Structure 1
Amino acid sequence: MSGRVDPVTKLAISCSICVVCVSLIELVTVGKSRLEDGAGLCHQEFQRWQNGGGAFHKSACIDPTALIETGAIVHPKSVVGAYVRIGSGTVIGPSVTVGQLTKIGYNVALSNCSIGDSCVIHNGVCIGQDGFGFLVDEKGNILKKPQLLDARVGNHVEIGANTCIDRGSWRDTVIGDHSKIDNLVQIGHNVVVGKSCMLCGQVGIAGSVTIGDYVTFGGRVAVRDHISIVSKVRLAATSCVTKDIKEPGDYGGFPAVPISEWRRQVASQSRTSKKRVD
């Protein structure tokens, strides 16, 4: 059989190649403008913000005085107040509200949340992501519990670098006005922190904890889930709260007890250790 291709077959092959080429060209040239991001929105619906060079969706409501640095992005239906500053690499997720005079650092991720006025959000903070909620069914499968509510940060709140605040599942996660949070703090879903609280570095608060006003946590304090702590409590560093604290005052230890009792425990342990050495 000859290796030659008759003219009719050659024409059919050429036409097929042309159709494929045209399809590829359309995909590259026209299709690019129709590519969608993770939220199902066309990239061409995002525009460049005139003050700082960041990107914003045309449905976002942004005050003209806001500064959005290059590399930052504001998603659909978000609201950015007057004189807000948003650092490079920061993502303001869909329907997020940022109050006036708030300063947001680099590489911050805000979703499912609202931020009050005159707040300071330092680099790497994540607010509004899903909380750690799972259950095991009768077959031993680990199933995710729905995390559908928001996180609400009050006015004049400062949040340190790389702190995480989860969204709520059965109630909103709330940070009260004038509270100050250090670096590397974890606040679980449904946690309510009152006003003028201070949380030092590496504090970990499990889900559904309720904390009153004017509460201070030293470094690396841990609080188990579903605990309630009244107002005007101070916890010494590395303490662990395993049951409700119903009276104001100073506490320390693991489990946390009134500070005078904890000091007696420490002194007793020290004497016992010395006797054993002798």
Structure 2
Amino acid sequence: MDPRSIRRLLKTVVWRQKGLPCSFPCEFLQHFSSGAEGWTEHLSWARGGGLVHKLAAIDPSTTVEIGAIIHEHVQVGPHSHIGSGSVVGPRVTIGSHSTLWYNVSLQNSCIGNHCAIHCGVCIGQDGFGFFVDDQGNMIKKPQAWTLSVFSFLCSWRDTVIGDHTKIDNQVQIGHNVVIGHSCMICGQAGLGGSSTIGDFVVLGGKCGVADHISIVSKVRIAAKSGVTRNITKPGDYAGFPAVPAAEWRRSMARFCKLGQGTRAHLGMVD
């Protein structure tokens, strides 16, 4: 079934459950239930009206709002909330008291307890991995691993985000990344694949961490910095490549003085 038909179906279900007049023909629903392969196994969830697969294990106290879709073998703990428009892919696990707001997409992931995932977030999608073969062809590299949003460690193949870690908008986290607990990752930051971030780490806006980089706990990276080497000592870092913040400030001071001397030598006046 094409996306337009799915949206039409969901709108029809919403209108009928609210008792509103519906201009869509009943034959459409009959065609959907009888001829749409794979969708006949989804039932309307009593607590919210969303569509839940028969093979999903959903706690009765969980709310699945109208327009949300939960696929097969999904497990959701008690008192969680799935917002309208959200899609939970096969074999995803969601803990208790977690909230998915509107239009969230989950695949290949495991969400812990008391997590809040805001509108429009996509987690667990296929990674950006390619290689060039001997003939010069661009080949897609499989990226089918699991993303876990909780504190205990998984195997190196999984992407793990620890408890109480806050992630701002437009943040890119690569595959096989491990992030500790109580970290703060500000907007437009990017973490390369297989990088490891300790606990209580702060990444400023637009800063980047190269792949396979390790950062110890209690490190703060200034905005627009680039981490190209492992950071083994706690503290503040800045610049590109990122160095201890005090060293970066001294370098900038010398650079500014050099610029002033050059302008004076050329007779330029500010």
Residue-pair matches, total: 234
Aligned to 1:59: 55
From 188, 212, 220, give the equivalent of 2:174. Answer: 188
Offset, 1:103: 0.9
Is 1:74 the counterpart of 2:75? The answer is no
Q: Would the alpha carbon gap of residues 239 and 31 (structure 1) be closer, same or farther in structure 2, given more than 3 Å must change? A: closer
Residue deviations 1:76-115, cap 9 Å, x none? 0101111111111100110101111001111110000000
CA distance in 2, matches of 1:30, 1:109: 27
Q: What is the match of residue 194 of structure 2?
A: 208
Q: Whole-Å Cα distance in 2 between the matches of residues 230 and 169 of structure 1? A: 19
- Cross-structure match for 1:258: 244
Q: Does 1:91 align with 2:92?
A: no
* Match of residue 18 from structure 2: none
The answer to whether the Cα contact below 8 Å between 1:149 and 1:170 also exists between their aligned partners in 2 is: no
**Alignment deviations for residues 192-222 of structure 1 (CA, whole Å, 9 cap, x no partner):** 0011111111110011101111111111110
Distance 1:96 1:234 in 2: 33
Residue type at the aligned position of 2:99: K
TM-score scaled by structure 1?
0.80
Letter in 2 for 1:33: S
Letter in 2 for 1:35: A
One-letter amino acid matched to 1:102: S
1:44 match: secondary structure:
coil
- How is 1:1-278 mapped onto 2 (pairs within 5 angstroms)? 33-36=34-37, 41=38, 43-154=39-150, 171-278=157-264
Off by >3 Å, runs of 4+ in structure 1: 28-32
Residue 170 of structure 1, CA deviation: 6.2
Report the AA paired with residue 92 of structure 1: V
On the 8 A contact 2:183/2:201 being kept in 1, the answer is yes
**TM-score computed with the length of structure 2 as normaliser:** 0.83
The root-mean-square deviation of aligned C-alpha atoms, in Å, is 1.9
Per-residue Cα deviation, 1:151-178 (whole angstroms, up to 9, x for no partner): 00016xxxxxxxxxxxx99610000111
Contact 1:146 1:169 survives alignment (8 Å): no
Kept in 2, the 8 Å contact 1:69–1:88? The answer is: yes
- The gaps in structure 1 that reach 5 residues or longer are 1-27, 156-167
Distance 1:67 1:224 in 2: 40
Q: Percent identity?
A: 56
**Structure 2 stretches of 5 or more lacking a match?**
1-28, 265-270
Task: Kindly indicate whether the alpha-carbon contact (under 8 Å) linking 1:148 and 1:169 is maintained by their aligned counterparts in 2.
Answer: no
In the alignment, the residues of structure 1 paired with residue 155 and residue 114 of structure 2 have an alpha-carbon distance, to the nearest angstrom, of 27
Please state whether the residue corresponding to 2:40 is helix, strand or coil.
helix
Task: Answer whether contact 2:48 2:63 (CA < 8 A) is retained.
Answer: yes
1:184 alignment partner AA: Q
Max Rg structure: 1
Q: Identify the residue that residue 20 of structure 1 maps to in structure 2.
A: none
Contact 2:50 2:69 survives alignment (8 Å): yes
